[in-house]
Structure 1
Amino acid sequence: MMLIRLLTFTVLAFTLAPVTWAYDLLYTAKIDPDTKLARVELALSGKDIPSKLSINLSSGRYKDLKSNDPLEIKGDKAIWRPKGRKGKLSYSFIIDNQRSNGGYDSRITQDWAILRSDKLIAPISATSRGRSNARLKLEMPNDWSSALPYPKIESNFYQLSDPTRRFVRPKGWMIVGKIGSRQDIIAGTDTRISGPKDENIRRQDILAFLNWNLPELKKIFPLFPEHLLIVTADDPMWRGGLSGTRSLFMHADRPLISGNRTSSMIHELVHVGTGIHGDDQSDWIVEGLAEFYSLEILRRTGGISETRYEEAMDKLAQWGKKAPTLLVKRSSGPVTARAASVMLELDKEIRKSSDGKASIDDVARELASTRGEVTLERFRKLSERAAGQPVKTLALENLTSKEP
């Protein structure tokens, strides 16, 4: 509890402290459904604009880079060196991106576009002495509107923020076009469900599901974002869920609770709440926590009974036997199922060792407080701190043997 109060105080202190901007940074994106491109411009102004910006072009979706200032392009990298107190750079971004299974994780049609704003704006590292006042302006057909997980300055104009970075880029999912939305304040989070009009999208059902489960999730992750955007659409978008900063995408055909009683929606919300990623052998921690809580949250809110919960966990344990090790680069299928079983056993061990004073919630909350990369070593240390002693569940033989 003391940690939660300290973290909350730190966030409030940062929020309330006066911010001194070193320079203005305006992103303008003109989205064109005819060419399926977005023409993006970065405009810098102020006495302390960055002297050098390194732009990552490795995705192959950025082309036609132009600037009146020195611009050097070498392979997958561009170096831009603005001069004076103003600078502009522009490029075209290819919106459509099709995954290997045929579905799209970025798509534009004549009526709408769904994409990640952190793809729209190329990855950039900047050499600068101060913080940017960053904003994003969208230019689109007259009958289009937009939804992003940021506060609006005015229509299609957003104030960006990222306390961890001085050079701020937009992050998370976005949708523009002829769209329909439902919005509510849920446990203090400004929540919006958006999707293309005239598609079979259950916006109100999703809002009701979140009203039911998000408050419980926020008890574990008190630093959950103040803005949450859920973008949903039908085919040809990818038939699954993908989390992003303050946002997630979920295919319209995905059930809120699956036949095996897990919830893809809660799974992705846990990713939003934790903001963690694993190293080359720790993705199972990230995915295992999300899958564990996709059941655990439903159990706590009464969405599934204790009996159904135990049956679902047993099925995950059986499926997880097909994974000989958890220490793989990417967790999916049996690995994630086995990882969820490990989380359940870890929770039991922590509760028993601490006489019920701690649980896996304390470990997950600590990870979410710092976000970033998680390793097995750090996860084990946090678990042992919560338990007050070494934990057997995370012994290496329990993570790599054929029987979890």
Structure 2
Amino acid sequence: MIAKLPGLRTVLLAIASLVMGGPALAAKIAYYDATYRATFKPGVEHAQVELELNGARLPSKLVLRVDSKRYRNFRSNQPLEVGDHEVVWRPQGKRSTLSYEFAVNHQRSSGGYDSYITQDWALFRGDKLIPSTRVTAPRDLHSRTTLQFQLPKGWSAVTRYAASGEHSFRIEDSKRRFVQPVGWMLIGKIGVRSERIHHVTAVIAAPEGESARRQDALAFINWNLPKLLEVFPDFPKRVLIVSAGNPMWRGGLSGPASLYVHADRPLISENRTSPLLHELVHVALGIRGDNESDWIVEGLAEFYSIQTLRRSGGISQKRYEQAIEHLNKSARRAPTLFAKNSTGPTTARAVLVFQQVDVEIRSLTGGAKSLDDVARKLAADRGEVSLIQLQEIAQQVAGKPLRSLQRERLMKPLAEPGP
């Protein structure tokens, strides 16, 4: 037995090294460089984009999901198959390049733009500039991705990523082997303000000359973000808020670690909600609804936009109660919660549901738990959410199923208020 101990010890050390991801395992990862170069010209409605791959080993195939209305003129010296919805590229050798044109301007059905370029600036999402790409490569082959902008003199760029050089950004995501730029981006003649708030670097950017109140918004975030971080401690370490006026869409839209809000939107509206906080909650949660659960996503965002204002002292208890009363009136115009897209009345009704959920959890746990614990768990899981998933998480927190989340109750019309 004693003679066998050294062999056993060696085996145990080897197992421990594998479990802990030791040096032997880490050394197996091979890297190649993926560099996106995007060239913009003032007022030109399309950008020239090039993807260059460099390395001893490259992926054997990349499949880009494309909309032929926004992506065109794909070119490469390597094998390329261009379809209406997919582009298949097969890199060869140690260096391969693919280029295409990206149509910047994109108008929503409501009339406003969620992507736009002028003579002085351009506002868009990185995950639109770069099509979603599926890569065929060995599991040990990872990309080191960089996004570089080729810009006119006097233009600058800001993204959710910290700059790694002039107009250059290193794109990192430890969860992916092929990393692509995502989130809102603003380039051009722009003004930028930033501040460190706890562990978060908040960056606010808008084109020069726009009515966006960068310093006001930064002060507003400084006042309210700490309360939001109490619910969502894993909030991104860097968040970008971009803003612009017409003809951009007159609302707010969130993205990974970033958001857009129209320059004319108030920090706090007359009904005591906050478009900016609403989108920040979306950033914190990182969830999307299934075909019938957008009310969960939008309801939580609106619930915590109002709650955060109340908890920070941004609105008084009286104003908070007035906000709930306003939501009550709006909610009666929502015949159902279950729809693909949540309307204003649907979101209002969802807020009232989450208010009931919060009360029920606190009652069942003697105040030890609340809706905060449910939201925190959803944010940790991220991804798609459904009523069943919400029910299960709420049950874990409360210790038993919640009446307030029974599907039968949620499908019933709201009862009319008593006399």
TM-score by length of 1: 0.94
Give 1:78's aligned residue: 87
Does structure 1 retain, via aligned residues, the 8 Å contact 2:63–2:89?
yes
Alignment partner, residue 118 of structure 2: 109
In 1: Cα distance, 2:219 partner to 2:112 partner: 28
Q: Is the alpha carbon distance of 1:358 and 1:59 closer, same or farther for their aligned partners in structure 2, counting shifts above 3 Å? A: farther
Partner of 1:292: 303
CA deviations on 1:324-378 (whole Å, 9 max, x unpaired) are 1111111121100000110110000011101111111111111111211111111
Q: Which residue of 2 aligns with 1:49?
A: 58
Query: How big is the shift at 1:59?
Result: 5.8
**What CA distance in whole angstroms lies between the structure 2 residues aligned with 1:315 and 1:102?**
28
Give 1:260 deviation, angstroms. Answer: 0.4
Aligned to 2:385: 374
Deviation for aligned residue 1:110 = 0.6
Q: Deviations over 1:133-187 (max 9, x none)?
A: 1110000101100110102111110010122221111110000000011111112
1:383 aligns with 2:398: no
Deviation at 1:22, TM superposition (A): 2.0
Distance 2:99 2:257 in 1: 27
What's the CA shift for 1:34?
4.2
Per-residue CA deviations over 1:205-250 (Å, capped at 9, x if unaligned) read: 0000000001111111111111111101111111110101111011
What does residue 276 of structure 1 align with? 287
1:23 and 2:18 are equivalent in the alignment? no
Structure-2 residue corresponding to 1:160 = 171
Deviation at 1:18, TM superposition (A): 7.0
Instruction: Verify: 1:316 aligned to 2:333, yes or no.
Output: no
Aligned partners of 1:150 and 1:178: how far apart in 2?
A: 19
Unaligned runs of 5+ in 2: 1-19
> Which secondary structure state, in structure 2, belongs to the residue aligned with residue 182 of structure 1?
strand
1:190 match: 201
Partners of 1:197 and 1:392 in 2: CA distance: 52
Q: 1:34-57 CA deviation, whole Å, 9 max, x = no partner? A: 432110001111123111111111
Question: Is the contact between residue 279 and residue 374 of structure 1 (CA under 8 Å) also seen in structure 2?
Answer: yes
Q: Assess if the C-alpha contact under 8 Å between 1:231 and 1:249 holds in 2.
A: yes
* Alignment partner of 2:47 out of 38, 50, 61: 38
What TM-score comes out, normalization by structure 2 length? 0.91
State the Cα RMSD in Å. Answer: 1.5
Secondary structure of 2:288's counterpart equals: strand
Structure 1: runs of 5+ lacking an equivalent: 1-12
Whether the aligned pair in 2 keeps the contact of 1:48 and 1:128 (CA below 8 Å) is: no
User: Secondary structure of 2:405's match?
Assistant: coil
Q: Structure 2 vs 1, CA of residues 376 and 59 (structure 1 numbering), >3 Å: closer, same or farther? A: farther
Instruction: Determine the C-alpha separation between the residues in 2 that align with 1:73 and 1:315.
Output: 52
| Alignment of 1:304 onto 2:318 | no
How high is the sequence identity, in percent, across the aligned residues? 49
* Secondary structure of 2:403 counterpart: coil
Equivalent position to 2:108, from 99, 102, 105: 99
- Secondary structure of 2:396's counterpart equals helix
Q: 1:278 to 1:400 in 2, by over 3 A?
A: same
Kindly name which structure, 1 or 2, has the bigger radius of gyration based on alpha carbons. 2
In the alignment, the residues of structure 1 paired with residue 408 and residue 263 of structure 2 have an alpha-carbon distance, to the nearest angstrom, of: 41
Conserved? CA contact 1:195–1:201, under 8 Å: yes
Equivalent-residue separation in structure 1 for 2:30 and 2:292 (angstroms):
40
**Amino acid aligned to 2:394:** S
Preserved contact between residue 95 and residue 108 of structure 1 (Cα < 8 Å): yes
Determine the C-alpha separation between the residues in 2 that align with 1:283 and 1:160.
29
Distance across 1 between alignment mates of 2:344 and 2:253: 16
Q: C-alpha deviations, 1:375-404, integer Å up to 9, x for none?
A: 111100001111111100011122111116
Matching residue of 1:249:
260
User: What is the one-letter code of the residue matched to 1:374?
Assistant: V
**For 1:92-241, what aligned pairs fall within 5 Å after superposition?**
92-129=101-138, 130-241=141-252
Paired with 1:319 and 1:240, the residues of 2 have a C-alpha distance of 19
Shift of 1:201: 1.7
Structure 1 Cα separation of the partners of residues 373 and 385 of structure 2: 15
Corresponding residue number in structure 1 for 2:10: none
